Structures are given as C-alpha cells and as structure tokens.
Structure 1
C-alpha cells in the first residue's frame, strides 16, 4: 500500500450511511483505503487483531447494536495499542449530552451526519485534511464539533 494512502475505518450499522460514506470517500482527492464495519463489535474485533494495520482515523457511529460507539471509544482509549487512534464520532445525534460525553471520553472530533452528499464529502475531506497534531493539542469544545 502506498505510504500516502490513509487507512480509514467506519463503524456504522446503517447500510445506506455506509454506502454514502464510501461513495463520498471515492470522490475526494485524498488516497484512502476504507474498511467498513456493521457494528462496534466487528470494529473492535478487527482493531485488536494481532498484526492488523491500524487505521489513521476511525469514524464511529454512536447508536449501534451489539456494541455502541461510546463503548468502542472507551475500549480504544483504554487499550495500550489503540490509545492514540484518532476517533471521529459520526452520528445523527446532536444532543449536547452525547457531544459532551464523547469529548470528555477522548474522541478527537464530533461530526453530525450531514443531510446532503455534498456536505458529507466536505465533512470527510475536512477531517482528513486536519492538522491533527495542532487540532488535538488545542482541542476544546469549540473546535470539537465540526461545523460545515
């Protein structure tokens, strides 16, 4: 795999959302390899495989069956090998409580699922182009919620 290819993982139980995300990824100019997971358990099983190449960014839906996004976030932040993964919460929820809880528990950014394909593409592109070193060192509630 070329070095400049970004490894991206998406865990989302909604098949339409996964398909749209994949189509948006295909249209942006950044080279990516996308791994899709139907729920948090599939994602965590994959991330904890012995010789797996970890993704640079994990997009995590909050409301999923079997294991939800919040449980995954906890496991990622408490796992020595996964601890530093970039986690983008990708959810339809715009509840202050969800945003607050994911922020406090170590997510790197919060994205409300956009209503249009164009906005989705823009959101993904914005996240992939972020200067994460700066973003995470200056992380506060104001830049945690991605605004499109």
Structure 2
C-alpha cells in the first residue's frame, strides 16, 4: 500500500474532527494528500470543479453537515456520471442501522462510526484505506460494510 499515493477528500463541518483526522493520517506515515471541505455545498462545488482525472481516490463523508448533509451529497454523487465511481466512506458519529442500511443502498463503499479514541481513529482510517484499495474501491458484501477499529 505504501507505493500508492492516496488523494483523500474529507467532508466534515467539525473542526476538531478534521484536526484529529489529519493527525491520524500524519501518524500513519502513508503517502497521502488531504483536502477538506466543511459542508455539503463546498463538497459538491469542489467535486464539480475537479476533472474526471483529478477526482479524489476516496471521499470520507460526514452525514451531519450544514447547507447540504451527507445523505444528500451521496445521493447527488451517485447520479452524476463522472462521480458515480468515486469511493465514498461514510464517517459519522451515528451508528443507526437504518441509516447504515440506507448508506449501503445508496452506494457508499464503507461506513465508519467515528471513534472517540485517537489510536482507534488511526487504526480505522488505515484499515479503511487498505481494504478499499484491496477491494479495488468497490462496495463489499453488506456484512463487511461497517469498519471497526
């Protein structure tokens, strides 16, 4: 995995969560570039401005964001030709199984409940990048959809 450079996009309105995410990536010592956006409107604007060749490798998407939430963004992403194959990992504080099932049906690749512990955060992000690459950025069977630290 170290040979591949990951271009990641994080859509999250919580500044602390963004900082912890960045710190976790730094400690993983992987070749990664990270862009963050703070709400769903910024996310969709960023994705529209990207050419098909410059799309992020993986989008980590928070569900509860202002102006346009993660559910609305995922629905929109999956309807746009150039974005349909963008791997989306839902990254949320909630673990409501109805929401998890809906995110799976809408085409998210994985679902992660944000851990409160930094070492678990680091572990689950590293695991998410590994399994996403190993599965060629495709959605797994439903029983493997939720990633645990």
Judge same fold: TM > 0.5, yes or no. Answer: yes
RMSD: 1.5
CA distance in 2, matches of 1:50, 1:29: 26
CA distance in 2, matches of 1:119, 1:45: 31
Question: In the alignment, what sits opposite 1:12?
Answer: 12
* 1:27-38 equivalence runs, <5 A: 27-38=27-38
Secondary structure class of the residue paired with 2:10: strand
List alignment gaps of at least 5 residues for structure 1: none
Q: Return 41-50 or 13-22, whichever deviates more.
A: 41-50
How many residues are matched? Answer: 144
CA distance in 2, matches of 1:50, 1:63: 24
Question: In the alignment, what sits opposite 1:48?
Answer: 48
TM-score (normalizing by structure 2): 0.91
Q: 1:50 to 1:91 in 2, by over 3 A?
A: closer
TM-score (normalizing by structure 1): 0.92
Q: 1:119 to 1:50 in 2, by over 3 A?
A: closer
CA distance in 2, matches of 1:50, 1:109: 23
CA distance in 1, matches of 2:124, 2:79: 27
CA distance in 1, matches of 2:102, 2:18: 24
CA distance in 1, matches of 2:67, 2:50: 22
List alignment gaps of at least 5 residues for structure 2: none
Cα deviation 1:50-90 (Å, max 9, x = unaligned): 53711000000001110100011011111100100110000
1:132 to 109, 132, 135: 135
Secondary structure class of the residue paired with 1:81: helix
Secondary structure class of the residue paired with 2:25: helix
Q: 1:142 to 1:55 in 2, by over 3 A?
A: same
Does 2:95 align with 1:94?
yes
